[in-house]
Structure 1
Amino acid sequence: MMDLPPPLCPDDEIFREKVQKKKTWKQEILLSFQIVGVVYGQLSTAPLYVFGTMDAGALASEEVVYELFSFIFWTLTIISLLKYASIVLKADDKGEGGTFALYSLLCRNAKVCLLPSDRSANQIMNCEGRTPSKIRARRVIEKSKICHYLLLFLALFGSCMAIGDAVLTPALSDPSSRRARESDTVSNALRRYVTVPAACVILVGLFMLQNCGTRKIGFMFAPIISAWLLFIGVVGIYDIFHWDVKIIYKISPVYVFKFIRNFNYHRWKLLGSIILCVGGSEAMFADLGHFSKKSIKITFICLIYPILVLCYAGQAAYISRNLGARDFNHFSQSIPRHYCKHVFIILSPLASAVGSQATITASFSIIKQCLALNCFPRVKVIHTSKTIHGQIYIPDVNWLLMILSLTVTISFRDMVKIGYAAGLAIICGMLVTTSLMSLIISLCWEKNLSVSACFLLCFGFVEAVYLSACLLQIHKGAWYLLVLLTMTMTIMLSWHYGTVKKYEFDMQNKVSTEWLVDVSPGLGIARVPGIGFIYTDIVAGIPAFFSHFITNLPAFHQVLIMVSFKSMPVPYVSEGERYLIGRIGPKDYKIYRCIVRYGYCDHIRDTGDFEEHIIRSIGEFISIEERDIESVDAATATNERMIVVGNSSTTHGHNNALVPLDAYEGPAVNNESQISPVPDTEGTSKKKRKKVRFMLPVNSPKIMQPCVRKELLDLIDARESGSAYFLGQSHLVVRDGSNFLKRFLIMVYRFSEKNCREPPVALKIPHAALVEVGMVCTI
């Protein structure tokens, strides 16, 4: 007999707590190291092009340089340090960040969501507790449809800016380092090799590394950015002491007021270059799902921010003393000669390539959120980490970003023009975050309206000034961002519009449950063995495509399960709240409804054992339906009884209605009706697949009523007989006489639908068991 370990003494418990804390701090340190190579690459490489994109003729005196340095310091302090690191990072949605994370918080707290959702699911998932002082403010927003559309537009607009930044920053970073190297008299041979084709090769290599995952990329890129930060920090300190020690005193806001006092058109345009110094700050929040809040904040405050201040101070000190030199405003000119020049030539192309990683990673997170909320065409999402769910890779988006970035690099060949477009993308994304954050402060944090207004006015005014400066350069390169914005916004709006119209068509053409109960005897419908999974977007009634199917072919399976996927405005849905099970019609019909709820960061549809989860959930529903009737709520308009299955507080621990046997590994077959052990007589060329079988618990006669036991046995028999899967294929057709806008949106939606991936639920279904029923939706 095995000896049990002695109980823990207080000293052992204290030791275990210390070990756990030590492990946590080790994880934070490890994440902080990875963050340097992923999140802060763009901020760290900004010194390559901030002063370099300024018109050298505008830097006419030392005072102007001091004023610009003061502007850079306070911009970095106000936007990056104060706004993002101190305030915005606190507005995470259960560890997720980005524009749609803010939008999801508003959807849950102000009911502004325009996405199709289930009312009962929202009531279960959302907290209804609100303080009386804020009810009036919420009611104004909830009742205004204009506010709903405006907030959705802001969320999509901010997402488009993040995608545009992911296209422009890789194209900006490498040309900036190339121009900095070419501005130096190194050698003609080096200039000959550092050309646009070389930049394209670097970009292709960068995007090809994305499939390695955030963790591996972080470990690969972190040493490069760390070495770069150490290099520019040392160079900054050297330039400060060598050229102008008093440059540190120039951070005084007095120089900002001097700059404003002598404000003119040329100085106004310089603000479009200054805003580049905070490029990548938005990625601190958008990449939050890939890392932790504490590690992002600690790394920025303790490492990134002080090094950047020293670097810009050293660069300003050099420029103020060398106004007559050639290319004096380029970062390479402030590098000391001899060995430091060679280090710069090696580090700058590597750091500049890595610098765009933050925007690429952020675009993956943003598109994943848009995808889950039906605002982006279906693409394949690969989760690269088993422990951190936010670390993802999207191949289709990655290659599209690569093509667009290469197009920018080859077409423009000028970092100044690319910098104008990147600056506009950066400041527009920041303005969207500021607008949504002001609502978060009032509606979610329940602060006084004056606090929300102060946040909006203070940060919004600063960013609006920079926006006006960027708009002056639209004709010089920023127009390309408008082209990207038009493309991405059209795709997102058309996909959202088409999804909503299809859902409304299904809701208008659904048939009641009574139709199936009353009409089926008259049609002579036969019940065939097995389980029929009917995938539909509606959560009440019978979908129109299925009624169309059984009207023309009067037969369906002995067990029917209506499965609906519902995206919730939360990042994750726990296993205990994921499945909402109900019954349709009398018990003899054995028709069930399963609503699968998932967050915008869940990947529930990718699980291979998804069907087994549904079977177990229905078995649990059957076992607790009679015993725990008080937990059953009226969830839909048809009074279908729904239960949240898997919640221990609801089921009282009775979750063993069906016991799975060991997974059986048998030959793959075209039809899933054969799951009994069959020898593979045709060789081993066919793929193996695992199938879970179920049985009742041994003591089931003692704990189950006879009717419950019989229904569970019928479910097991149907499972043994096999499964069929019904999918509705709705084709949108525009009604004659519709306006051009509607026709254009539907045309784009149909094009995107034909070229995107199949619905995830259909990817792992055997073709012989899949039945697709087509319907024409006239809108």
Structure 2
Amino acid sequence: MKVKEIEENSRGDGEEKARQVEEEVYGEGEGVTIKKISSTRLLKYDELNIETDQISASHGHRSRKNADWVTILKLAFQSIGVVYGDLGTSPLYVFTGIFPNGINHNDDLLGVLSLIIYSITFLTLIKYVFIVLSANDNGDGGTFALYSLICRHAKVSLTPNQQAEDKDVSNYKIDVPNGRLKRASVVKSMLENSQFAKHILLFTTMLGTSMVIGDGILTPCISVLSAVEGMKEATSYFTDYRIMWISVGILILLFQIQRFGTEKVGYSFSPILIIWFLFIGIIGLYNFGKYDPSVIKAVNPMYIVKYFKRNKKNAWLSLGGVFLCLTGSEALFADLGHFNIRSIQISTCAIVFPSVILAYIGQASYLRQHNEDVSTAFYSSVPKRVYWPMFGVAVMAAIIASQSLISASFSIVQQSLALGCFPWVKVVHTSSKYEGQVYVPEINTLLMLACVGVTLGFKNTLTISNAFGVAVIFVYILTSTFLVLVMIMIWKTNIFLIILYVLTIGLMELLFLSSVLSKFVDGGYLPLAFAAFLVIVMYTWNYGYRKKYMYELKNKVSMERLKEIATNPSIHRVPGLALFYTELVQGISPIFTHYVANVPALHSVLVFVSMKSLPISKILHEERFLFQRVGPYELPIFRCVVRYGYTDAREEQEYSFEETLVDQLKQFIREDLLMFGRPEGKIDMVSESNGSKGIRIDEEELQREVGLVDDAIKNGGIVYLMGENEVMASKGSSFGKNLVINYGYNWLKRFVRKPDEVFMIPRKRLLKVGMTYEV
């Protein structure tokens, strides 16, 4: 006989008792097993539809966040080949971009070098490496990671979040500010109570994401073109036309290797990038000693003041060129999901930062004696004996430079996809060892076509650099905006430190923005055009997604209506386990009643399956399934929420998924009976000596209930049911709503993956039911 003893513990004030399972004892002859189950886990079964505001305990991304030093060093090595290409190859074109019309005064080089040194120190090293990386979402970075982090600390999402089915996910951490932290509470309340603020927050997130993708288009173009242009220094055979087509060929090859994944690409590219950083560092040190060691005076920021006094408006305009030394810094954060904080900090401080600073110092030292070579500053400053080896490494480094923003584009598309802000595309997880390393084939193809188009259209690096700066600076400012919100609401940072950040880093970024916008008509419009297109696509998809979701939520099937359907004698019961898929989490989709009206039959066991994407990066496997009984005991009808983080792979084998779901369902049935019993079952209440109570369940009763699932599968197998809905604007809707829903959203739906592909449902056992929603 199996016996389970349950203690009832009072929560006080007349509230419903919270039961807590203390131990499970198996009778003689069957061994003894003791199993601990927390009360918080049990509460989820009867509070699935109650919204909650606080979730405690936190862990996540264990394999990267708490990695051992061997793993950290491996990731640091990989990160060099993925993250730093853009930042590391900036010396190819920065001085050319700063002085497009030549150097007017020799001391201008000291002012510009000082600007470069302090810009990299403050904006790359301090801002990104030591501040922004800490604002990650359980190990993932990027604009959407910041947005999801804010959504978990305040109810600012336009779709319901902080729900009961998320309450015991261990890395879904919410720390509600207490009364002493009024500033955090005020900002939180302002965001939560303003619908306008919520829309602005979402729009800003989409804009930042679009700008990063735009950066992913421009980075390969300028990096490859600037490297290949070195051929002109060697021979006149390589004209601008030939260089353009060579660059196009290299770009196409680059995008073809993305399918091999970040790990393979990183290990392949990292040795080349390490050689590159060693070369530019050593050559920079060589030029510093050979030409003009006095450029070390540039560490004095007074040379910046003198530079602006001397050149006034031209100095301000040149900031757009100075800003090019920072391109690629955003990739440190956006690519964080492929690596971890410590690995990026190590690789930046040990290799990247010193090498890049030495490269700029060396070029400035050379140009102090060769002002006329500013248009070809990088290649002219390379010693002739190592010119061709340096050229070969530069071309390979430029190819690799494109990798950082391409990988970042994959990551942020995956994040926005999981949060309902991007049309369904295929996401391939390319590494079983490292979480977050993904490849998105459709995005890869679009990026390749866009890169080829930009290269053929602009033909040279100067025009592309104008566009490049606009894309990057917008991302910088949007990241800083979100970071300030994180500092106030989540970190609860001292107000003086926040003001210091805004007055230093914030003002520097605004100054750079004012400069790069002056080049709007000279190519700066391009990233804004890319961003506008992507924001329209993302907002259209998200608007249709939200309207459909809210329609289902408003018209969900009530428990009373479900019982009426389940007990209706005209509806036949057929053997089998049916998994009815729905995107609705807070109830049963109205498409179920439409299904029953057209197919008057129900399977012997029915499970409503909802795929829930939480605004966190990863869900532990043991926390993925959440069950609730929704019908009377004589009718085995259940709800199951299958929870995924935005970096979780859904490419699970169908049989593995089915087997896990069935095992979890049977475990739930057993625990549900042992906790609450069955009114007509063979249950005895037993008084204990300590005053607590327990329930003794007949083992035959348990086996019979659990056996219903096995019998259903044996006799009828597992069948998948799915509603296929069409969304239309309701009568009387505005012209804008009709345009977005009837044309924009439905047009996008025709070109993206279908829900059964997204949820990896086997088509041979799938039955679809169509229904039109008027939203």
Q: Which of the five TM-score ranges fits, normalised by the shorter chain?
A: 0.7 to 0.9
In the aligned structure 2, how far is the partner of 1:382 from the partner of 1:521? Answer: 44
One-letter amino acid of the structure 2 residue matched with residue 66 of structure 1: L
Q: Which residue of 1 aligns with 2:767?
A: 771
Q: Is the 8 A contact 2:578 2:718 kept in 1?
A: yes
Distance 1:235 1:723, change over 3 A: same
Evaluate the alpha carbon distance shift between residue 57 and residue 583 of structure 1 in structure 2; reply closer, same or farther with a 3 A threshold.
Answer: same
Aligned residue number for residue 167 of structure 1: 217
Which of 345, 350, 362 is matched with 1:302 structurally? 350
- The verdict on how the C-alpha distance between 1:581 and 1:282 changes in structure 2, with shifts beyond 3 A counting, is same
Aligned-partner residue type, residue 252 of structure 2: V
- Residues 197 and 40 of structure 1: is their aligned pair in 2 closer, same or farther, counting only changes over 3 Å? same
> Across the two proteins, how many residue pairs are aligned to each other?
684
Q: Give ranges in structure 1 of 5+ residues lacking alignment.
A: 1-22, 633-701
Q: 1:346 Cα deviation (Å)?
A: 1.6
* Higher mean C-alpha deviation, range 118-127 or range 475-484: 118-127
Q: Compared with structure 1, are the counterparts of its residues 523 and 710 closer, same or farther at alpha carbon in structure 2 (3 Å cutoff)?
A: closer
Match among 116, 120, 139 for residue 189 of structure 2? 139
1:745 maps to a residue whose letter is: V
Residue 624 of structure 1 aligns with an amino acid whose one-letter code is: E
C-alpha distance in 2 between matches for 1:291 and 1:341: 34
CA distance in 1 between counterparts of 2:740 and 2:308 reads 45
The residue identity in structure 2 corresponding to 1:226 is: I
Whole-angstrom CA distance in 2 between matches of 1:762 and 1:71: 48
Q: How does 1:322-333 map to 2 (within 5 A)?
A: 322-323=370-371, 325-333=372-380
Distance 1:478 1:364 in 2: 24
Tell me if the contact between 1:116 and 1:503 (Cα under 8 Å) persists in the aligned partners.
no
Do 2:87 and 2:329's aligned partners in 1 also have CA atoms closer than 8 Å?
yes
Contact 1:319 1:329 in 2 (8 A): no
Q: Distance in 1 between matches of 2:565 and 2:673?
A: 28
Q: For the residues of structure 1 that align with 2:568 and 2:74, how far apart are their CA atoms? A: 68
Distance 1:436 1:622, change over 3 A: same
- Structure 1 residues 94 and 768, CA gap change in structure 2 (3 angstroms): closer
Match of 1:566 among 608, 612, 618: 612
2:648 aligns to what? Answer: 602
Local SS of the residue matching 1:95: coil
Shift in Å, 1:445: 1.2
Q: CA deviation at 1:190?
A: 4.8
- Residues 742 and 320 of structure 1: CA distance in aligned 2, closer, same or farther (over 3 Å): farther
Q: Please tell me the residue identity of whatever aligns with 1:57.
A: N
Which of 624, 627, 632 does residue 671 from structure 2 map onto?
Answer: 624
1:557-605: CA deviation from partner (whole Å, max 9, x where unpaired) = 1111001111112111112322211011211111000011111111246
Contact conserved, 2:153 with 2:176, CA < 8 A, in 1?
A: no
Higher mean alpha-carbon deviation, 102-111 vs 519-528, is at 519-528
Question: How far 1:417 sits from its partner (Å)?
Answer: 1.2
Relative distance call for 1:760 and 1:93 in structure 2 (3 A) is farther
Tell me the CA shift for residue 764 of structure 1: 4.5
Letter in 2 for 1:739: S
Instruction: String of CA shifts for 1:579-634, please: whole Å, max 9, x gaps.
Output: 2110112111110000111111112464432122221111111111132349x9xx
Give the match for residue 82 of structure 2.
Answer: 38
Distance 1:475 1:762 in 2: 42
Q: Take 1:483 and 1:523, find their aligned partners in 2: how far apart are those partners?
A: 60
What corresponds to 2:709 in structure 1?
715
Question: Does 1:735 find its partner at 2:730?
Answer: yes
Which runs of structure 1 show a deviation greater than 4 angstroms over 4 or more consecutive aligned residues?
Answer: 190-194, 326-329, 519-523, 760-764
Is the aligned partner of 1:725 residue 2:720? yes
Separation (CA, whole Å) in 2 of partners of 1:735 and 1:44: 54
- Residues 613-661 of structure 1: CA deviation (Å, up to 9, x unaligned): 221111111111132349x9xxxxxxxxxxxxxxxxxxxxxxxxxxxxx
* Structure of greater relative contact order (alpha carbons < 8 Å, 6+ residues apart): 2
Could you tell me which residue of structure 2 aligns to residue 528 of structure 1? 574
CA distance in 1: counterparts of 2:598 and 2:303, whole angstroms: 80
Q: Report if the CA contact (8 A) 1:623-1:704 is conserved.
A: no
* 8 Å contact from structure 1 (residues 118, 539) kept in 2: no
Could you say which residue in structure 1 is the equivalent of 2:398? 352
1:24–1:371: structure 2 CA closer, same or farther, 3 Å change rule? same
Query: How far off its partner does 1:298 sit?
Result: 1.1
Show the counterpart of 2:290.
Answer: 242
Contact kept in structure 1, 2:477 and 2:509, CA below 8 Å: yes
Residue number in structure 1 paired with 2:30: none
Residues 513 and 123 of structure 1: CA distance in aligned 2, closer, same or farther (over 3 Å): same
How far apart in 2 are the matches of 1:415 and 1:741?
A: 40
2:106 is aligned with 1:59:
no
Closer, same or farther: CA 401–761 of 1 in aligned 2, 3 Å = closer
Q: Report the 3-state secondary structure (helix = DSSP H, G, I; strand = E; otherwise coil) of the residue aligned with 2:469.
A: helix
> Which of the numbers 150, 156, 164 marks the counterpart of 1:120?
164
Cα distance between partner residues in 2 of 1:108 and 1:371? 17
Q: Alpha-carbon deviation of 1:502?
A: 0.7
Match of 2:152, SS? helix
Task: Report what 1:286 is aligned to.
Answer: 334
| Long gaps (5+) in structure 2 | 1-66, 679-695
CA distance in 1, matches of 2:441, 2:427: 7
Residue-by-residue CA offset, 1:710-742 (whole Å, 9 max, x unaligned):
121111111112122111111122235533432
Q: How far apart in 2 are the matches of 1:83 and 1:705?
A: 62
Cα pair 1:605 1:761 within 8 Å, conserved: no
Cα pair 1:115 1:373 within 8 Å, conserved: no
In the TM superposition, what whole-angstrom CA distance separates every residue of 1:3-25 from its partner, at most 9, and x where no partner exists?
Answer: xxxxxxxxxxxxxxxxxxxx933
1:105 is the counterpart of 2:188:
no
Which of 740, 746, 750 is the equivalent residue of 1:754?
A: 750
8 A Cα contact 2:604 2:712, kept in partner: yes
Q: Does the C-alpha gap of structure 1 residues 574 and 432 become closer, same or farther in structure 2, counting only changes over 3 Å?
A: same
Inter-partner Cα distance in structure 1 for 2:671 and 2:109: 74
1:620 is aligned with what amino acid? Q
Alignment of 1:351-500 (within 5 A): 351-500=397-546
Flag the 1:281–1:762 CA change in 2: closer, same or farther, 3 A: closer
Q: Which amino acid is 1:755 matched to?
A: F
1:577 is the counterpart of 2:572: no
Q: What pairs with 1:211-290 in structure 2 (closer than 5 Å)?
A: 211-262=259-310, 264-290=312-338
Aligned to 1:683: none
Please tell me whether the aligned partners of residues 95 and 288 of structure 1 are also in contact (alpha carbons under 8 angstroms).
yes
Distance 1:541 1:598 in 2: 18
Residue number in structure 2 paired with 1:613: 660
Name the structure 2 match of 1:676. Answer: none
Q: Distance in 2 between matches of 1:777 and 1:232?
A: 61
Match of 2:131 among 87, 91, 94: 87
Give the SS at the match of 1:588.
Answer: coil
Distance (Å, rounded) in 2 between the aligned partners of 1:109 and 1:192: 53
SS at match of 1:601: coil
1:363-397 deviation digits (Å, cap 9, x = unpaired)? 11111111111111111111111121111111111
3-state SS of 2:168 partner = helix
Please give the secondary structure, in 2, of the residue aligned with 1:110: coil
Corresponding letter in the other structure for 2:769: V
Kept after mapping to 1: 8 A contact 2:110/2:297: no
| AA aligned opposite 1:97 | G
1:149 aligns with 2:149: no
Could you state the TM-score of these two structures normalised by the residue count of structure 1? Answer: 0.84
Whichever residue aligns with residue 765 of structure 2, its letter is: A
How far did 1:31 drift?
Answer: 2.0
Q: What value does the CA root-mean-square deviation take over the aligned residues? A: 2.2
- For residues 226 and 349 of structure 2, the distance between their equivalents in structure 1, rounded to whole angstroms, comes to 26
Q: Distance in 2 between matches of 1:385 and 1:270?
A: 43
1:507 is matched with which residue?
Answer: 553
Do the aligned partners of residues 95 and 541 (structure 1) sit closer, same or farther apart at CA in structure 2, a change above 3 Å counting?
Answer: closer
Matched, 1:336 2:336: no
Letter aligned with residue 196 of structure 1: M
Partner residue, 1:316: 364
Distance in 1, matches of 2:387 and 2:83, equals: 27
Q: For residue 284 of structure 1, what is the amino acid of its counterpart?
A: L
Contact in 2 for aligned 1:578/1:597 (Cα 8 Å): yes
Aligned 1:548-559 pairs, distance under 5 A:
548-559=594-605
